[in-house]
Structure 1
Amino acid sequence: MAETDGKMIDATDYRILRELVHDGRASDVTLGERIHLSSTATARRRKILEEDGVIAGYTAKLDMTKLGFSITAMVSIELNSQAEQVLNEFESAVIRCPSMSFCSFVSGEVDFIMIVHVRSFDDYDRVYRKELSTLPHVARIRSSFLMREVAQRSVAPVAIEDPN
């Protein structure tokens, strides 16, 4: 069992988490029916998981292609320094990039990995020129375009399996 804020996450909590990963809009009644627990007990457990931060929030999964964003680029960025001030300035600037949906500081040959959504290659050229190349302290930008999505999960299945 995992622990959060001194409390153990038990097998029932994991069942709730598995159901919510597949259907975050499920009511407590529906969840209770699926995991064989009363809706009151389900609501109490869900509330505890939310308060402890195990459930960090609820979102809608959008189909970017249907919204007109047919191209996804994975962008690797190297900075000219890894000094704390440089990292902080870059991170503050990248948060303001409207085309970016994900950015993470990583280990290895590059410093940051970003995911950018665009409508076309012309749109990517605009994003590259107006957003990416204007970021502070950038030494090198490398882009790879996703050809076909094979799998996408909000949570790896291993994270919601009861370890016992």
Structure 2
Amino acid sequence: MVVVVVVVVVVVVVVVVVVVVVVVVVVVVVVVVIVVVAAVVVVVEVVVVVVVVVVEVVVVAVIVVVVVVVIVVVVVVVVVVVVVVVVVVVLVVVVVVVVVVVVVVVVVVEVVVVVVVVVVVVVVVVVVVVVVVVISALIGGVVKLVEGVVTIVAECWLQW
């Protein structure tokens, strides 16, 4: 009977030890699983945060680059439009000035030519009239002179 009791006690002790070992192993496994799961969760959270931050930085960088490119394109287009408008305005002003100068020069030349022609015609007419009057006066004077000489000669002849 003592042997049975000893065997029962040994079996109970072995069962208790096995149960304790199993419980300890289960607790250790559960703790390890919890630690591993927690570590995996932390790593996944860190990776997700890093990926989100990188994606946000890339999106912000792309938005900034797109905005800068759009601003540069708009500025270039505005500058080109302003330059084209200025060039067109300058060309129009130059053309208008050239046309006005040419018209003024042509009108002035025509007026000068007309004035010169009128002055020349008036001078020629005046000279011709003066020459005709002078020649007429000279002829009249010569005729009077000849009449006077003839009269004097005739009177002298008659008196002799």
TM-score, normalised to structure 2's length? 0.13
Higher strand share: 1
Higher helix share: 2
Please identify the structure whose Cα radius of gyration is greater: 2
